Homo-oligomer: A and B are copies of this chain.
Amino acid sequence: MSNAAPIVCDSCPVADRAVCSALAEGDRDELARMGHHRRYARGETIVAAGDAATLCATLTRGAAKMSTIDRDGTERIVALVHPAGMLGQLFAPTATLHVTALTDSEACVFPRADFAAMADARPALARRLLTEVGRELDESRGLIDLISKRQARSRVAALILAFSRAASPAPCHDAAAFDLPLTRGEIAQLLGLTIETVSRMLTALESAGMIARRGSHGIAILDRGALEATAG
Contacts and interface: CB of A to CB of B under 8 A. Distances in A.
* Total copies of this chain within the assembly: 2
User: SS class of chain A's interface: helix, strand, loop or mixed?
Assistant: helix
A70 B232 CA distance: 8
Interface residues of A, number: 40
A192 B126 contact: no
Given A68-B141, A130-B129, A141-B79, A120 B120 contact: no
Interface of A: 66, 68, 70-72, 76, 78-79, 89-92, 96-97, 116, 119-121, 123, 126-127, 129-131, 133-138, 140-141, 143-145, 147-148, 150, 192, 232
Contacts of A121: 123
A72 B232 CA distance: 8
20 contacts: A68-B141, A71-B232, A79-B141, A89-B134, A89-B137, A89-B138, A90-B134, A92-B134, A97-B141, A116-B127, A120-B126, A126-B130, A130-B130, A130-B133, A133-B133, A137-B137, A140-B140, A140-B141, A144-B144, A147-B147
